[in-house]
Amino acid sequence: MVEQIIDVVIIGAGPAGLQAAVHAVRKKASVLVLGRLENSSIHPAHVENYLCVDGVTDGAELLRIALAQATRFGAQVWSEDVLHLDQEGEFFTVKVESGRQITARTLILATGTSRKKLKVPGEKELLGRGVSYCVDCDANFYRNAKVAVVGNESAAVDGALTLTKYAAEVHLVCKDMAVTKELGEKLAASSVIVHKGTWATEIHGEKAVSGLLLDSGEILAVDGVFVELGAKGAMELATSIGVMLDTDTFSYIETNKKQETNIIGIYAAGDIAGPPWQMAKAVGEGCVAGWEAANHANRLKRIQKSA
């Protein structure tokens, strides 16, 4: 199902994304924010160094106020994770976990960069030798192999489904499953072996991964373990359509002062655009990104209208 064309689609519902929404929608652009407040790094935090906010303030409360502002001004907000991005000419397509597809004139990437880890024995030692944090990056290395994906949310389920196209056997280890009905139905209809109500406690292997120990005592004989905790990361989404990373560390998206990336129509703001990892920086960059993305989308509409 293809939705209407949206001027500015923002991926990430943290300070950068919500500030971008406020500024973009006030430029008379149609705006859609994709993401969950609880996935923002500021959600569990207590803030005391943000200008004009005196004392210690709960991060979740700040996000709740920001969400109310963005929606009051006219932005749409969907509490869904993004699974895939693509570019078709001057437009971008965004596929979310419910199966809906959105066409966008501009994109703002504002999901942060944190990579959640299992923090179990063998994870660090076997990183790059069977342990991976990116199915989209590494799936091709596991053709006809046995693999396990660990995670409870959309990135894990989508990753497991993707791996069925490559691996001979795919296991999904999850304590619970927090995904949409549509994604859950796709999983149920697939060949993925689901271990629900269990969790990984240790990754086995010497020179390479050989197994995954579960808290039930079961050992899965696998060649690879994919750790996918939460939503799909902005790095995976960005690099899949050619967005360039910084040339020194390759750990964040390179932008100019307008928060533009190397691809016309794609902007980045907040932690994904590099340090310092502060809410003040995220909000400032969100302001610029929202303003510039809306201007660009409005220019495209004027050109299309006059053509």
What is the residue-wise DSSP string for 218-244?
Answer: -EE--SEEEE--SSPPHHHHHHTTTPP
Full residue range of the structural domain in which residue 156 is found? 131-227
**Is position 21 within any domain?**
yes
Residue-wise pLDDT tens for the chain (307 aa)? Answer: 445 799 999 999 999 999 999 999 999 999 999 999 988 878 877 888 889 988 888 889 999 999 999 999 999 999 998 999 999 888 999 999 999 999 999 999 998 876 678 999 999 999 889 998 878 768 889 999 999 999 998 889 999 999 999 999 999 999 998 888 999 999 999 999 999 999 999 999 999 999 999 999 999 999 999 998 876 666 678 878 899 988 876 678 999 999 999 999 999 999 899 888 789 999 999 999 999 999 999 999 999 888 7
**Is position 119 within any domain?**
no
Are 21 and 84 found together in one domain?
A: yes
Q: Which sign, positive or negative, has the C-alpha torsion 238, 118, 116, 65? A: positive
φ/ψ of 165, rounded to 5, equals: -80, -10
Domain with residue 146: its CATH number is 3.50.50.60
C-beta separation of 13 from 33 below 8 A: yes
Are 104 and 142 found together in one domain?
A: no
**Is position 14 within any domain?**
yes
**What's the pTM?**
0.76
Are 174 and 85 found together in one domain?
A: no
